[in-house]
């Protein structure tokens, strides 16, 4: 189960004991505090704490830029200016702390984003639960033939059934041996820090993850992208929903300039200018490599 009875009892107690505060409060975030949102088959995210709001971003920017912001008439306009011109430090004034339950192989992708504070459940001291990520049948896909990091067509029929059986059987067998090795039933038992190495990468772990908004946006830009691996993307998608309620102006600018925008090279900009003048530009006359041209065409022709 994603949330244990003890965790739910803790959540209920925390939500029932509201406390007055003089600090800035984001009303949209208050509704998310402590609530757990299910992800995958046993995972979840939940907000433990946060600091700052859209106003905190503007406050920091006005301290930093002083008279340089006076031409901006409102907070949303200022935030869009900051996002548009890559002024990142004001966004670092906001922070969020999440409790995340996720498969180990997803955690190993996630931890590549090193600009955060992390404390993970330790299998040196504690025994991991018997919970494994088993994909839904429609998420079992073959290796992509054009992208070494991607998926191709979904497996079907006997092939899909065989793979699912392997995933379930191997996970169960590894956990059985793990439990047997740490057992002290009539014998000393193997140390937990050694026994854990036999566990599969689809077992669930948990951590507290604290990050500022600037670095969170970087995480979301990569992991909520349609090209990201599904198993980490669904976590990013849930976090996006929370952030949109927490800092709506900042998230709107992020969606517009980062998620929905594109970065063009000087060669690409030159091609756009030539096209606007009516010139027919091809890859051969663009000055770009085939890969660059393909990506440039993708930006121009993306229906989104």
Catalytic residue annotation: 223
> What is the DSSP secondary structure assignment for residue 127, as one 8-state letter?
P
Q: Are 74 and 194 contacting, i.e. CB atoms less than 8 angstroms apart?
A: no
How far is the C-alpha of 268 from the C-alpha of 295, rounded, in Å?
A: 10
| Torsions phi, psi for 203 (to 5 deg) | -75, 150
How far is the C-alpha of 172 from the C-alpha of 143, rounded, in Å?
A: 25
Which long-range CB contacts under 8 A does 172-178 form with residues at least 24 apart?
Answer: 174/198, 174/199, 174/200, 175/130, 175/132, 175/199, 175/200, 175/203, 178/128
How far is the C-alpha of 30 from the C-alpha of 236, rounded, in Å?
A: 20
Counting Cα atoms < 13 Å in the Cβ hemisphere of 130 gives 11
Output the CA–CA distances (angstroms, integers) from residue 117 to 45, 47, 99, 284, in the order listed.
16, 15, 12, 47
């Amino acid at each position: 189960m994603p949330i244990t009875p003890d965790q739910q009892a803790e959540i209920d107690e925390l939500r029932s004991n509201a406390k007055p505060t003089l600090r800035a409060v984001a009303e949209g975030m208050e509704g998310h505090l402590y609530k757990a949102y299910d992800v995958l088959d046993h995972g979840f995210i939940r907000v433990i704490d946060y600091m700052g709001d859209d106003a905190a971003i503007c406050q920091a920017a006005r301290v930093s830029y002083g008279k340089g912001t006076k031409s901006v008439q409102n907070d949303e306009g200022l935030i869009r200016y900051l996002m548009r011109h890559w002024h990142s430090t004001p966004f670092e004034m906001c922070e969020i702390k999440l409790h995340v339950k996720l498969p180990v192989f997803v955690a190993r992708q996630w931890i590549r984003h090193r600009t955060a504070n992390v404390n993970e459940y330790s299998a040196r001291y504690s025994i991991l639960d018997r919970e494994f990520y088993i994909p839904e049948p429609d998420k079992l896909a073959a290796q992509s033939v054009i992208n070494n990091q991607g998926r191709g067509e979904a497996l079907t029929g006997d092939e899909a059934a065989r793979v699912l059986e392997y995933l379930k059987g191997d996970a169960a067998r590894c956990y059985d041996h793990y439990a047997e090795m740490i057992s002290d039933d009539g014998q000393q038992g193997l140390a937990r820090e050694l026994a854990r190495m036999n566990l599969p990468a689809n077992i669930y772990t948990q951590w507290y993850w604290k990050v500022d908004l600037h670095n969170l946006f970087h995480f979301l830009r990569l992991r909520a992208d349609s090209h990201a691996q599904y198993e980490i993307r669904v976590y990013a998608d849930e976090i996006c929903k929370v952030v949109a309620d927490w800092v709506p102006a900042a998230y709107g600018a992020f969606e517009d300039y980062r998620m929905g925008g594109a970065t063009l090279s000087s060669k690409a900009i030159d091609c756009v200018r030539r096209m606007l003048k009516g010139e027919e530009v091809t890859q051969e006359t663009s000055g770009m490599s085939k890969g660059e041209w393909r990506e440039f065409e993708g930006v121009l022709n993306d229906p989104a």
